[in-house]
Amino acid sequence: MSGFHGYVNSALGLRQRTKKRRTRSTDLSNSDQTLVIDLGQGSKRGSLVTIPLNIELMNAEDLVDILLDEWIGNSEEPAQFSETALLERKLDAVRAIGSQLFKLYRSQDYIQLLDLIIACEKHYLALSEQLGLPTFLRLQALSCLLYLRLTKLGQFLDIEEAIKYGVQAVRVGTRDTAQLAQCLAVLGVLWKTRFNRLGDLANIDNAIQCLRKAIETAPEGQLDKAGRLIDLGDSWHGRFQCSRELTDIDHAIDCHSHAVELTYDGHSNKPGRVCNLGVLCLGRFRHFGQLEDIDRAIEYHSQAVQLARGAHPEKPGCLSGLGIALGCRFERLGQPIDLDHAMDCLSQAVQLAHEGHPAKPGYLGNLGNLWRSRFELLGQISDIERAIECHSQAVRLTRDGDPKKSGLLHNLGNSRLFRFLRLGQLADIDGAVTCHSQAVQLALEGHPEHPMCLGSLGASLKHRFARFGDLADLEHALECLSQAVQLIPTNHPDIPGYLMNLGGAWMSRFERMGELPDLDNGLKYQSQAVQLTSDEHISKPELLSSLGSSFIHRFQRFGELTDIDHALSLLSQSVRLTPNSHLRTPDRLVTLGNAWLLRFERLGELADIDLAIDSFDKAFRLIPDDHADKPRCLNCLGNARLRRFELLRNLPDHCSNSRYYPWYYYVVPVRVRQVLRASSGKTSNGPD
């Protein structure tokens, strides 16, 4: 805002910002507070005019009229002035009042003074027009003051009026190219502000046009060229968020790169500008998926952290940016070192951000996402507990109405869903659906996070359907997921995940209703997801596993061997790509084992049942004892061993192995236990 203040200082004839001074009464809202202004010579009772500052009930323009009338009435001989001279005296008086009021505003920040200052400027403009004086500075000062009041009070009518005066100022013009460039730059920011509030590409196109002209018009050696390039880059980025056109974000990155080049090392703004450049590269990576962009983003954020030495105010933001970029690269490539580094950066950012820091909820939300990623990688309950703790704190610290709250609720819902999938607690799946529903309500259509929130709500509803079987949840899930796929750009790197979830919902409907179009839809969307995902992407194993499961369903319906063979190929590839430590490895092994078992039942080849048992056995050894799916895993293993025993009658007594014993009597079906004991010749006093 200092740029606006500086420009208004110039327009009002003030050489420099007035320093804050002590006054007898610093409470300007006091009803007895007044301001005394010296208007110069020419008054019977002196040159002083008293202005009451308790103007809540008085129209500012009416008050200025009253002050001028009072001054004229106090003039020694009003009749001695010609009409022109009287207008000139009024103009001098208005200028003096406006200048003094603006000085007071700068020192005390008393917002209501802006009404009087703007009223003075409007009188000044009208008097200048009557006297045939240049109006460029008056129009531009009004534009700046109205924008200043908008930022303080949020009255949207001010932006319309500010743009009106700014457009008039450009139309009137001036020979001073530096002033014209400043006028165009301010007008560009006004159009950008209108775009941020209302959308509409016409607004951001106007902003880009004005800011480009401002840079072209300014004389060589302008001191604020970097700032104007940043405004232009931000405008291109705003356009990209609507258009999703590569050229728009390319222009944004070029502008910010040039701004960084113009900013000398040691400048207080250098870390923030380098950090913003990293944010843009990360945004281009997220939308187009080029690995070189994420590498560049990490490089810029690392530079920003190095530049923000000591207690630099930008340091928490730079650390957060680096952590987010490293987390994104981990999501793409799955390198644990990136995850560890990311968590370290975001933990530091949270620690450095004081209570009440506006960005702290965002830092906590991103740190929570990393704890959840670590939980997916290692399966430790403490990690998902920490994720939920971070997300819950972020939501608590964010006021209702804050545009970032939808994303924070979305993150909390995701973490509760993950804990549900691990522990099976009903409160978690209900909590996930509630958080995701609230996020969708806050991120209405047109909000950049609307597709993401819809997709996550659909995923939560799908999992709740799987637990309770309420068809209404599944229908709602399909509706949400279908909308999300329609809204997200086809070249967005996250589109495979949306397609996978939508395909999974259609498969769930097929399992429930048995309708073939649902099966076809499920396979279609899941196949698209696999085709769009590179082999090195961290989500590829999950996509392969989901598609393989769908081919199992089609095999069970039609009995085509090609379907079970295709399923085995996909599921085997999924298991090969998944490390043993991954949270989902046991589940993928169980699915693979079931596929081998199905082919064994069809063809009777012993090699298939051996492979099935190997898969189940490995899954059982990997799955934690407190996992909600542990009984299912052991049941699959027991049934497979029973089937092989019925054929060969030489099943070894694996139940005596210590790794099975704690589960044996509580999980394995009675008939399986009886067969296992009979095969070993042993007896047990345990219950059947």
Q: Output 443-450 pairs: Cβ under 8 A, ≥24 positions apart.
A: 443/406, 443/407, 443/410, 446/199, 447/403, 447/406, 448/241, 449/406, 449/407, 449/410, 450/487
pLDDT at 679 over 50: no
pLDDT at 133 over 60: yes
pLDDT digits (tens, 9 = 90+) for 360-395: 999 999 999 999 999 988 889 999 999 999 999 999
The pLDDT, as a whole number, for residue 670 is 47
Separation between Cα atoms, residue 293 and residue 252, nearest integer Å: 14
Work out the average pLDDT over 128-141.
Answer: 90
- Spatial neighbors of 453 by CB under 8 A, at least 6 apart, are 406, 410, 436, 439, 440, 443
Confidence class for position 73, pLDDT limits 50, 70, 90: low
The pLDDT, as a whole number, for residue 77 is 54
- Spatial neighbors of 285 by CB under 8 A, at least 6 apart, are 291, 293, 294, 297, 328, 493
- Spatial neighbors of 418 by CB under 8 A, at least 6 apart, are 372, 375, 376, 384, 387
Q: What is the mean pLDDT of the chain?
A: 85
The pLDDT, as a whole number, for residue 272 is 94
pLDDT at 19 over 70: no
What one-character DSSP code corresponds to residue 17?
Answer: P
The pLDDT, as a whole number, for residue 18 is 39
- Spatial neighbors of 159 by CB under 8 A, at least 6 apart, are 146, 147, 150, 190, 193, 194, 197
pLDDT at 156 over 90: no
Percent of the chain with pLDDT over 70: 82
The pLDDT, as a whole number, for residue 72 is 60
The pLDDT, as a whole number, for residue 200 is 83
The pLDDT, as a whole number, for residue 333 is 87
**Is the distance from CB of 325 to CB of 298 less than 8 angstroms?**
yes
Work out the average pLDDT over 83-111.
Answer: 80
The pLDDT, as a whole number, for residue 356 is 87
Span of 22-36, 302-316, 321-335 with lowest mean pLDDT = 22-36
The pLDDT, as a whole number, for residue 16 is 44
pLDDT at 533 over 60: yes
pLDDT digits (tens, 9 = 90+) for 656-674: 333 454 444 444 444 444 5
pLDDT at 686 over 50: no
The pLDDT, as a whole number, for residue 153 is 84
Dihedral of CA atoms 402, 408, 410, 411 in degrees, nearest 10, equals: 170
Is the model more confident about 312 or about 341? Answer: 341
Confidence class for position 300, pLDDT limits 50, 70, 90: very high
Work out the average pLDDT over 192-214.
Answer: 91
**Is the distance from CB of 386 to CB of 372 less than 8 angstroms?**
no
pLDDT digits (tens, 9 = 90+) for 479-517: 999 999 999 888 788 899 999 999 999 999 999 999 999
Is the model more confident about 161 or about 683? Answer: 161
Q: How many residues comprise the chain?
A: 688
Confidence class for position 650, pLDDT limits 50, 70, 90: low
